[in-house]
């Protein structure tokens, strides 16, 4: 009987220690960044994901409607190095 | 006694299995993870004057970390000005610019693939929006920062092949109305390009072109 009480007390102690540890750790866990640095998306809380090109005037799209989600350009250029355009082309002066 | 001992071990093992793993994971996250520095509450323009719209947009980028730590550029079309920021939203350089001759925030479909001679005046716009810049070359052999490769809009040194346009003179004047002259590209002084933009050609850069016909919220999805 004494042994049973001993083990119950021991088990309770371990459980309590685990929960206290978890609570302490939670208070010092670093905050989650608002954006994942590896994925270029819009700022947190945006109703509209950011876009990487202007809208089409002919379709009458507004920029908010033009695209949603991370763009292919964003995905392709994730990281710290610049994305490279495929080939030289004429620009608009 | 031995039965009690075994049951005791089983009970402790079961409770430890439930209680300890979350604690270990959280502790590992707290100690091994690298806490990012706090986001600045506003962009640092230093002593440089800027429009309320530019200050607001750059501040939003800083707070929301929309640039994800990348250097970024703000083009203020209404002031015909470019602002270059580091990844912590500190202004590193600024300059007058030349922009598209026509007011507007859209790009006409297919305009990037047409010869300049076939681009109508009202299509000579510099589109507003958020762009992940690409590096590359134009057909004049210049290194450029593509704002929108698909729309053929780039940032490049001021174009001087047509003296009648007086682009250098337009850059030099304090007025902004005469800075609207291009077919959509953003022209910067050559020295500014070499000293402040060429270093960006190797690193990820986000370009924010401020709108002139729409609110910022609509273009960038800003809330704060």
pLDDT digits (tens, 9 = 90+) for B119-134: 999 999 999 999 999 9
Q: Which residues of A touch B11 (CB under 8 A)?
A: 7-8, 11
Give pTM, 2 decimals.
0.68
| Of residues B22, B116, B152, nearest to A89 (C-beta) | B152
Q: Give me Rg for the CA atoms of chain B.
A: 26
Contact A16, B190 (CB under 8 A): no
CA distance B54 to B128: 13
Mean pLDDT, range B195-205, rounded to an integer: 95
Nearest chain B residue to A80 by CA: give it. B204
With an 8 Å Cβ cutoff, are B8 and A6 in contact?
Answer: yes
Q: Where are the domains of chain B?
A: 1-35, 52-220
pLDDT score at B41:
86
How many interchain CB pairs under 8 A, A with B? 248
- In this structure, of A71-80, B32-41, B136-145, the range with the lowest mean pLDDT score is A71-80
pLDDT computed for residue B4 by the predictor: 59
Q: How confident is the model over B62-97, as pLDDT tens digits? A: 999 999 999 999 999 999 999 999 999 999 999 999
A75 neighbors A39 (Cβ within 8 angstroms): yes
- What was the ipTM of the complex prediction? 0.71
CATH class of residue range B52-220: mainly beta
The domain spans of chain A are: 43-72
Cβ contact B12–A11 (<8 Å): yes
Query: Does B33 score more than 80 pLDDT?
Result: no
Residue B155: which of B216, B224, B87, B73 has the closest Cα?
A: B73
Measured at the CA of B164, the angle between CA B161 and CA B170, to 5 degrees, comes to: 90
CA distances from A13 to A7, B8, B116, B159, B205 (A): 10, 13, 79, 77, 54
Average pLDDT, chain A: 51
Phi, psi of B43 (to 5 degrees): -80, 150
Q: With DSSP H G I counted as helix, E B as strand and the rest as coil, what are the percentages for chain B, rounded to 5? A: 35, 25, 40
Q: Residue A25, SS3?
A: helix
Of B16, B33, B153, the CB nearest to A14: B16
Q: Is A71 on the interface with B (CB under 8 A)?
A: yes
């Amino acid at each position: 009987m004494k042994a049973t009480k001993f083990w119950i007390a021991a088990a309770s102690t371990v459980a309590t220690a685990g929960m206290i540890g978890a609570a302490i750790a939670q208070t010092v866990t670093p905050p989650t960044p608002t954006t994942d640095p590896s994925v270029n998306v819009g700022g947190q809380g945006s109703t509209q994901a950011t876009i990487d090109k202007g809208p089409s005037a002919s379709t009458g799209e507004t920029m908010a409607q033009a695209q949603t989600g991370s763009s292919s350009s964003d995905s392709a250029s994730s990281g710290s190095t610049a994305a490279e355009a495929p080939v030289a082309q004429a620009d608009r002066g | 006694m031995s039965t009690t001992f075994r049951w005791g071990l089983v009970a402790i093992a079961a409770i430890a299995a439930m209680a300890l793993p979350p604690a270990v994971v959280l502790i590992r996250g707290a100690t091994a993870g690298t806490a990012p520095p706090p986001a600045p509450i506003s962009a640092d323009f230093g002593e440089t004057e800027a429009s309320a719209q530019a200050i607001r947009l750059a501040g939003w980028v800083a707070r929301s970390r929309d640039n994800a730590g990348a250097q970024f550029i703000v083009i203020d079309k209404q002031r015909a000005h470019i602002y270059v920021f580091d990844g912590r939203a500190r202004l590193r350089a600024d300059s007058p610019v030349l922009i598209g001759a026509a007011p507007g925030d859209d790009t006409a479909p297919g305009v990037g693939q047409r010869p300049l001679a076939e681009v109508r005046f009202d299509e000579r716009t510099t589109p507003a929006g958020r762009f992940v810049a690409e590096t590359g070359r134009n057909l004049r052999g210049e290194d450029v920062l593509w704002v929108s490769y698909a729309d053929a809009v780039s940032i490049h040194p001021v174009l001087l092949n047509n003296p009648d346009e007086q682009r250098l003179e337009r850059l030099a004047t304090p007025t902004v109305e005469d800075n609207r002259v291009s077919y959509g590209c953003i022209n910067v002084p050559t020295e500014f390009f070499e000293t402040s933009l060429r270093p960006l050609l190797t690193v990820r850069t986000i370009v924010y072109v401020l709108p002139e016909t729409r609110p910022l919220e609509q273009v960038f999805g800003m809330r704060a």
